[in-house]
Structure formats: C-alpha cells, structure tokens
Amino acid sequence: MDKNIVIQLTYLLSSILFIVGIKMMGKTATARNGNALSAVAMLIAVGITLVNQSILSYTEIFVGILIGSAIGAYFAQKVEMTQMPEMVAIFNGVGGAASTFVAISEYARVHQSPESLDFTIGISLLISVLIGSVTFTGSYIAFAKLKGIMKGGSITFKGQHQVNAILFLIMILACIMTLIDPQNELFIYTVLFLSLLLGVLTVIPIGGADMPVVISLLNSYSGIAAAATGFVLGNQVLIITGALVGSSGIILTQIMCKAMNRSLVSVLLGGFGQTATSGPSASSSDIVVKEVGVEETAMIFDSASNVIIVPGYGMAVAQAQHIVRELMELLEKKNINVKFAIHPVAGRMPGHMNVLLAEANVPYDKLVEMEQINDEFSNCDVCLIIGANDVVNPAAKTNPSSPIYGMPVLNVEKSRTVIVSKRSMAAGYAGIENELFGADNCLMLFGDAKSTLTTVVTEIKNM
C-alpha cells in the first residue's frame, strides 16, 4: 500500500479516536476512558507525523516519547487535585506556545526562501501567532493568579480598555503589513510582541468568580491556535483536533457564562467583584451566625431522611473528599438518602468537584447537576455545604446591588437545616459576605473540613 495512503488512514483513525474520546468526556461515567482514548489518539498522531516528515531518527523519537512520558507521569503523581486548575492553565499555555513556535519557524523558512507567502497560509500563520501568543501569556497569568503568585482579584488601571484597543489596532495593521510585505521581519515580530502583551493585559483585570470562564476560554484559544497551525503545516489531524478543542471550549465557556449569568464580553472586560457592595450582604457585622458542634451535627444527621451535600473549593483545599465519601456510605447504611449537588462553577475550573469526588470513588449517579437538583432542596432534611460560598449565596436572588445578582445558585436555603463546614467567615471569590450564614435554619461548623467531618463520622459510628 502507498505510504501516503497509510499516513492519511492513520490520521483518520486518530481523528475518529479524538472525536469518540471527547464525546465520552461529556459524561462523568465515561470521562476517564475518553481521556485515555484521546491520549492514545495523540500518541498515534504524533508518531506518524514524526515518521512521515523524517525530521528525526527513530532513536530520537523514542527518547523524546520516553522523556515526555516520564515528565507526564511524574506530574500526574505529584500534582494534587487542588492544583488541577493551575495544571490546566499550564497545559493551555504550552499549547499556545507550541502553535506560536511552529508558525514563527514556518515564517522563518518562507522568509529565507525565494517563494512568496501564500495568502491563505499567511492568514493561518498570523492567526496561529496571534491566538497562540495571547493564550501563552494569558494562561500563565491565570496560573499565577490561581497559584497566588500574583493578586488573584482584578488588576486594572486608568484607560486600560483604550490602551488594549489601540494595541489591538496596531497589531491588526502589522498583520496586514506582514501579508503585503512578508520579507520585512519587523511586522511579524510586532504581531508577536503585541500578542504576548495583550495576553497579559486581557487577563490581569479578570479575577474572582470569573476564573472558571477564563480557564475554559483559554482552552478554546489553544485549540483554535492549533487548528490554524494545522493549516500552516497542511496537517489534517491537527486541523480536526484543534477545531474539536476550540469548539468544545467555546461551548463550555458559554455554559460557564450562563451558569454565572454573565456575558462573555463582561468577563473579558474584567472587574468582577470590584463593585462596591451594599445592602444586607455587604457587612459581616449585620450577620449573626449560630455555631454547631460535631456532636450536635452527628445527631442532626442521624435523625435525617434526605441529605444533600454541596461541595466547594474548600473541600478541595482540605482534601476532604474521601471522608465525605465515608460519611455518605455511613449515612446510607442508616437508610438515609444522600446526593451531591454540583454547581457548574463550584471550584476553580469546570468539573472540578466532579473530578475530586470521582477520585474518592463517589458513585457517578450521586452527582446531580444544579438544574436537576434545585427543586429537591425543599424536601431536604439536611444540606451540608463544604467550603462553597458564592454558589449558595441567596444574595444572587434577593440583592440587586450584589455583584453576583442574577447568577443561578443552589437553593440550599430551602432545606430544613443547613450546615456549613467552613474554616472562617471569609468571603468567597466575589469578595462579598454570604447572607445565608445568618439564616434561621443555618448552622456553622467551623474548622478544617477534613478533621471536623472525621470527628462527625466517628460520632455517628458511636451512636
């Protein structure tokens, strides 16, 4: 069989595996297998590309795969689940950087040869540089915010949007000049520099509760950059996979924006949580809380029939997912019905809570999305909130002056009893107080979630 046919068939196989893999990631029960299938598809695509281009020897290819696999295996074991958002940001940045490097190297090749830059290839090349560079620097700014290396909130300065607009127009002009005069290196490197700068300037004003949206949007950017690079190289599998990542990322971004009642434009303009808070949720002094101990908490659980657990980022920080699973199993042995309410933006990235609970072997059918479970809170005896804040704040429904007003939240306040496991009264990502904490049916269980729930489980066992 002709070598080219074998290569194209292999690319087709990789593309099919990618499509099936991403489809499987749409459901929690099949997501792990979908991820593995996509990894196999990537390995096949990379392998056949290297063999096809004959740019490396088989020894170099094997050594490269070995080194890359070792690095991946090391970080897969080392990185905690709480650090997964940061890792995703790094992945997005690496993808953007790869697209930029390939596009710049292709430009250098064309620049050194007498052939002119094809218009279609030129457009693809510029898109790859532009979006890849924005993704690279933007992702690492997101990483720095998530890691706490830089201020996690919104960073703004006077005339910020005007500066961004001017830089963008200059960059577009440089793109046009690159197409007109591709032999002048100044234009392409102007595009590169301004794209890197805009990646920083467009992400620094974004903070607080908008971070899950930023992560999914940058993921989409990395896919679009990869697809553009595929056109530059004439590589079909890169076009297909890049388009898959780009489109799925955009869809996820839209879902995140809808879950927060935010427009994508408002997210990109930044400033979430900057609004001066007023009204009943503005000051912790207006909130009188009722504290509950572990013994009383155990008694409340023991007398319940229906329990809904709401996980948040605090659960991830405390690494409490395993003791939460043990609590679930203990309650079920007492014929108490237990479910988990999952808000789309709970945590610091889409699906963060699902991943944590799946790691702790919580059955997939126990994880119920907000739309399906919100009506069940009125029949709930006990709602246990673990480290969640903004996604359970009734101010989103009752306080028009609140920055999160209009954001769909879980109807936890309708439960007969609400128990909030929290380290302190600190505000959430949005920087506002939670009026739920002062509700008549709300009890605060202060302390590290893992240690306090471990004690609660021990108390229940002794009953």
Task: Say if residue 58 is in the same domain as residue 117.
Answer: no
pLDDT band at 273 (very low <50, low <70, confident <90, very high): very low
- Local structure of residue 438 (DSSP, 8 states): G
Task: Say if residue 178 is in the same domain as residue 259.
Answer: yes
Mean pLDDT of 228-257: 86
When comparing pLDDT for 334 and 208, which is higher? 334
Find how far residue 117's CA is from the centre of its chain.
37
* Torsion sign across C-alpha atoms 264, 219, 193, 155: positive
Q: Where among 242, 269, 296 does a domain terminate?
A: 269
What is the per-residue pLDDT across 347-357, written as a single tens digit (0 to 9) for each? 777 777 888 88
Task: Say if residue 97 is in the same domain as residue 56.
Answer: no
CB-based contact 266:260 (threshold 8 Å): no
Least confident of 2-6, 127-131, 308-312, 357-361: 2-6
Q: Where among 56, 78, 100 does a domain terminate?
A: 78
Task: Say if residue 69 is in the same domain as residue 92.
Answer: no
**Amino acid sitting at position 129:** V
Q: Does residue 95 register a pLDDT over 70?
A: yes
Task: Say if residue 70 is in the same domain as residue 93.
Answer: no
Length of the chain: 463
Cα–Cα distance for residue pair 287/274, rounded to 1 Å = 22
* Torsion sign across C-alpha atoms 225, 229, 235, 236: positive
Least confident of 35-39, 149-153, 189-193: 149-153
Count H helices and E strands in the chain, helices first.
17, 6
- 336 belongs to a structural domain: yes
- 332 belongs to a structural domain: yes
- 227 belongs to a structural domain: yes
What is the per-residue pLDDT across 57-83, written as a single tens digit (0 to 9) for each? 778 778 888 898 898 888 888 877 667
Task: Say if residue 96 is in the same domain as residue 169.
Answer: yes
> E strands within 28-141?
none
**Whole-model pTM?**
0.75
When comparing pLDDT for 272 and 69, which is higher? 69
- 118 belongs to a structural domain: yes
Task: Say if residue 256 is in the same domain as residue 372.
Answer: no
- 274 belongs to a structural domain: no
Clarify whether 210 is annotated catalytic: no
Task: Say if residue 304 is in the same domain as residue 378.
Answer: yes
CATH of the domain at 310: 3.40.50.1220
- Residue 351: CB atoms within 10 A of its CB come to 19
Task: Say if residue 378 is in the same domain as residue 433.
Answer: yes
Domain count along the chain: 3
When comparing pLDDT for 358 and 425, which is higher? 358
- 279 belongs to a structural domain: no
What percent of the chain is predicted at pLDDT more than 70?
88
- 213 belongs to a structural domain: yes
Mean pLDDT (the chain) is 84
**CB-side neighbour CA atoms (13 Å) of 317:** 17
Cα angle vertex 378, ends 376, 384, to 5°? 75
Task: Say if residue 336 is in the same domain as residue 202.
Answer: no
What percent of the chain is predicted at pLDDT more than 90?
33
Task: Say if residue 14 is in the same domain as residue 147.
Answer: no
Mean pLDDT of 22-37: 82
Mean pLDDT of 411-435: 80
Q: Where among 241, 269, 297 does a domain terminate?
A: 269
Q: Does residue 368 register a pLDDT over 80?
A: yes
Q: Which residues contact 103 (CB under 8 A, 6 or more apart)?
A: 125, 126, 128, 129, 132, 228, 229, 232
- 128 belongs to a structural domain: yes
- For residue 358, CA distances in Å to 315, 340, 349 come to 14, 12, 15
Which one is catalytic: 210, 365, 390, 440?
Answer: 390
The parent domain of residue 401 ranges over 284-461
Task: Say if residue 59 is in the same domain as residue 106.
Answer: no
Cα–Cα distance for residue pair 309/339, rounded to 1 Å = 6
Give me the pLDDT at residue 116, please.
Answer: 64
- Nearest by Cα to 130 from 232, 210, 268, 236: 232
